Amino acid sequence: MNARESASLSAPRSELPRTTRLRQMLTSTQLEFMMEAHNGLSARIVREAGFKAIWGSGLAISAQFGVRDNNEASWTQVVDTLEFMADASDLPILLDGDTGYGNFNNVRRLVRKLEQRGIAGVCIEDKQFPKTNSFINGERQPLAEIDEFCGKIKAGKDSQADDDFSIVARVEALIAGWGMEEALKRAEAYRQAGADAILIHSKLSRPDEILQFAREWAGRGPLVIVPTKYYSTPTDVFREAGISTVIWANHLIRAATSAMQAVAKEIHASETLVDVEERIATVNEIFRLQDADEYSEAENRYLSASRASGSAIVLAASRGAGLEAVTAERPKVMLPIAGKPLLRWLVDAFKKQGVNDITVVGGYRADAIETAGIKLVVNERHAETSELASLACAADALKSDTVISYGDLLFRSYIVRDLVESEADFSVVVDSSLTEPVNRSVRDFAWCSAPDDRGLFGNKVLLRRVSSELQDGAASGAELPHGRWVGLLNVRGAGRARLQAVLTTLRARPDFDSLDMPALLNALIEAGESIEVQYVHGHWRGVNDLDDFRRAGDFAHGQTPLASAGTGGEAQ
Ligand code: SPV
Ligand code: MG
């Protein structure tokens, strides 16, 4: 495999180098086929259709640039286009190299550059530079001198580094009206000069002269044909004539042209997209052809340690007990706080810390959730279920390091920054300023391995248990809690699979529908996981009732004494 081939990022690898595969096609005893492509996308489409090789058509590549097939595109522009094609598809590409873009010396340089870019072979034709397409006044086009053209073939063969790189010599004698004898004479001279195959071209609507040529050629070397004009010939006729390879030379650029003409005309006339949408490739299909998934996988592989790839799951399925008066039309997370929805404050705070892939689990009035910049999944059973059922709806989002968050939080951005920078597989934020029930909605008390001792800043503290019951003596030994879990859990690396496993175990429980996030934290601890505690002292606020709602605007504006932030809380 040459250097260029191994540099192709997204194309699947085939065992043999492209040059070898092209040579095997040319020399095989069965009839082979090549399809035209003219850019990376069409090269990908040719591969997916099942073809074994690509014809890099001069006509089609010129046409997609909007220029004529008269060497108006420079050879380096053609080679740059081929590079995109070779990257998009692992098929061998035979370039239609026109006349070789100059004399023997240009052919030498062309062959070297093509090899460097993973192109498997080149076809050169015995006309003069600059050429014109064979189907435009072909008979008036001057042919090259036989000796001069043989020199080009030899120069090309002498400069290839890979023995399997192929040079196909194209005979234009029939196109130019010089007759069968001249065509055969030229083909034989080119074979002796080292050509790996002969392309015999015809502009007749019947295959007669091609078949006569093949008979008289009598298998001296592989024959390639381009039946654009004699397209109605049954393919078995070529098989029986002993043709090596058929090139379908321009059919994708023509198909694309008629599709684009029809759609452009229709959209212009109707001034709407509604009639064409079903007939054209979806945007997702374009993403697929561009291999967008590979990018996402690579991002996970190479950016997972950085905050840029962070993701979050936001639990936002509840209407909000105590907030019924303001949530008839929308869920709690869409309540306006200082001019923007609560959820937007949260999303903006995450994005500010590079947590960009945000999945929100909606439920009650999920239709009212603004989806800009987030992915929305819906817990359809939100009325009968609790937080873990919502989390399970977003389990697919646990592909990279993820912050799981209640949806009704406002917090200073350093809290998320410190959380996502934690090296621990599991970490939570606990507010040590709140250890006593302020009102009935206060819950999620946290017992930890040590109290918040800001003198010992940096010491590792582990979560022991989260419960809303202060008298939960069995677990806590009636000890006072060390603070309150604010509703933020960060899961990293291998912790993700372990969290999924614990979630799966909990799902098997008959009471799964009633389980909340603290139940997950406690189950993780019982399963032997260490959950690191990041203590804060205020600087956040939950929105659980109308009073919280009223005060949240002040918090958002940064006007309240932040350290005394009131009730934390949950979204569900
Ligand atoms: C091309 O595809 O550019 C060819 C084949 O050279 S033809 O247009 O038939 O001459
Ligand atoms: Mg051409």
pLDDT tens digit sequence for 284-305: 999 999 999 999 888 777 875 5
Q: Is residue 168 domain-shared with residue 283, that is, in the same domain? A: no
The per-residue pLDDT for 235 is: 98
Residue 6 falls inside a structural domain: no
In eight-state DSSP terms, residue 317 is -
CA 428/CA 532 separation, integer angstroms: 6
Residue 234 falls inside a structural domain: yes
| Residue 351 burial (10 A CB sphere; 0-12, 13-18, 19+) | middle
Report the CATH number at residue 496. Answer: 3.90.550.10
Question: Ligand 1 pocket, 96 CB below 6 A?
Answer: yes
Judged against a pLDDT cut of 90, whether residue 487 lies above it is answered with yes
pLDDT top residue among 150 and 420: 150
Share of the chain above pLDDT 90, in %: 66
Q: Among 246, 283, 276, 235, which Cα is nearest to 259's?
A: 276
Residue 11 falls inside a structural domain: no
CA 89/CA 21 separation, integer angstroms: 14
Question: Ligand 1 pocket, 250 CB below 6 A?
Answer: yes
Q: Among 559, 518, 564, which Cα is nearest to 537's?
A: 564
Q: Which atom of ligand 1 is nearest to the CA of 62?
A: 3
Distance 254 CA to ligand 1 centre (A): 13
Instruction: Round the average pLDDT of the chain to a whole number and report it.
Output: 89
Distance 260 CA to ligand 2 centre (A): 23
Mutate to test the pocket of ligand 1, among 64, 131, 250, 251 (most ligand atoms within 8 A of CB): 250
The per-residue pLDDT for 309 is: 63
Question: Ligand 1 pocket, 467 CB below 6 A?
Answer: no
Judged against a pLDDT cut of 60, whether residue 306 lies above it is answered with no
Q: Is residue 283 domain-shared with residue 231, that is, in the same domain? A: no
Report for 138-142, 150-154, 477-481: range of highest mean pLDDT? 150-154
The token pair that represents 320 in the structure block: 């909000």
Question: Ligand 1 pocket, 519 CB below 6 A?
Answer: no
Q: Is residue 227 domain-shared with residue 190, that is, in the same domain? A: yes
CB 443 within 8 A of CB 485: no
Judged against a pLDDT cut of 70, whether residue 57 lies above it is answered with yes
Q: Is residue 282 domain-shared with residue 418, that is, in the same domain? A: no
Judged against a pLDDT cut of 60, whether residue 308 lies above it is answered with no
CA 256/CA 39 separation, integer angstroms: 12
Q: Is residue 210 domain-shared with residue 273, that is, in the same domain? A: no
The per-residue pLDDT for 305 is: 54
- 103-107, 394-398, 418-422: segment of lowest average pLDDT: 394-398
Question: How sure is the predictor about 564, in pLDDT bands with cuts at 50, 70 and 90?
Answer: very low
Question: Ligand 1 pocket, 99 CB below 6 A?
Answer: no
Q: Is residue 434 domain-shared with residue 300, that is, in the same domain? A: yes
Q: How far is CA 181 from CA 185, 209, 212, 216, 219, in A?
A: 6, 11, 11, 10, 17
Strands 426-431 and 463-467: unpaired
CA 455/CA 340 separation, integer angstroms: 38
Q: Is residue 145 domain-shared with residue 275, that is, in the same domain? A: no
Distance 97 CA to ligand 1 centre (A): 10
pLDDT top residue among 413 and 387: 387
Atom 5 of ligand 1 has which residue's CA nearest to it? 249
| Residue range 27-40, pLDDT digits in tens | 999 999 999 999 99
Q: Which atom of ligand 1 is nearest to the CA of 135?
A: 10
| Residue 328 burial (10 A CB sphere; 0-12, 13-18, 19+) | exposed
CB 89 within 8 A of CB 42: no
The per-residue pLDDT for 14 is: 55
Q: Is residue 301 domain-shared with residue 239, that is, in the same domain? A: no
Distance 58 CA to ligand 2 centre (A): 4
pLDDT top residue among 303 and 99: 99
Backbone angles phi, psi at 37, to 5 degrees: -140, 160
Residue 564 falls inside a structural domain: no
The per-residue pLDDT for 436 is: 62
Q: Is residue 183 domain-shared with residue 164, that is, in the same domain? A: yes
Residue 489 falls inside a structural domain: yes
Ligand of minimum distance to the alpha carbon of 71: 2
Report the CATH number at residue 167. Answer: 3.20.20.60
Question: Ligand 1 pocket, 141 CB below 6 A?
Answer: no
Q: How far is CA 236 from CA 31, 55, 233, 240, 244, in A?
A: 9, 21, 8, 6, 12
Strands 426-431 and 532-536: parallel
**3-state helix/strand/coil string of 115-134:** HHCCCCEEEEECECCCCCCC
Q: Which atom of ligand 1 is nearest to the CA of 229?
A: 9
Residue 1 falls inside a structural domain: no
When pLDDT is averaged across residues 448-462 and rounded to a whole number, the result is: 82
Q: Is residue 308 domain-shared with residue 442, that is, in the same domain? A: yes
Domain count within the chain: 3
Distance 220 CA to ligand 2 centre (A): 24
Dihedral of CA atoms 179, 181, 187, 191 in degrees, nearest 10, equals: -170
CA 411/CA 562 separation, integer angstroms: 10
Question: Ligand 1 pocket, 94 CB below 6 A?
Answer: no
Judged against a pLDDT cut of 60, whether residue 6 lies above it is answered with no
What are the residues facing 445 on neighbouring strands? 467, 484
First to last CA, the chain: 57
Q: What are the catalytic residues? A: 69
Question: How sure is the predictor about 356, in pLDDT bands with cuts at 50, 70 and 90?
Answer: confident
Question: Ligand 1 pocket, 58 CB below 6 A?
Answer: yes
When pLDDT is averaged across residues 99-127 and rounded to a whole number, the result is: 98
The amino acid at residue 292 is: A
Question: How sure is the predictor about 561, in pLDDT bands with cuts at 50, 70 and 90?
Answer: very low
Q: How far is CA 74 from CA 64, 78, 98, 156, 558, in A?
A: 14, 6, 12, 19, 62
Residue 254 falls inside a structural domain: no
Question: Ligand 1 pocket, 59 CB below 6 A?
Answer: yes
Q: Is residue 228 domain-shared with residue 331, that is, in the same domain? A: no
Distance 418 CA to ligand 2 centre (A): 61
Q: Which atom of ligand 1 is nearest to the CA of 134?
A: 10
User: Which residue stretches of 194-341 are H helix?
Assistant: 208-217, 235-240, 251-270, 283-289, 292-303
Residue 570 falls inside a structural domain: no
Q: Which atom of ligand 1 is nearest to the CA of 170?
A: 6
Q: Is residue 317 domain-shared with residue 281, that is, in the same domain? A: no
Distance 482 CA to ligand 2 centre (A): 78
Domain hosting 273: range is 259-287
Ligand of minimum distance to the alpha carbon of 249: 1
- 47-51, 60-64, 494-498: segment of lowest average pLDDT: 494-498
Q: How far is CA 517 from CA 47, 223, 301, 428, 454, in A?
A: 48, 71, 29, 12, 27
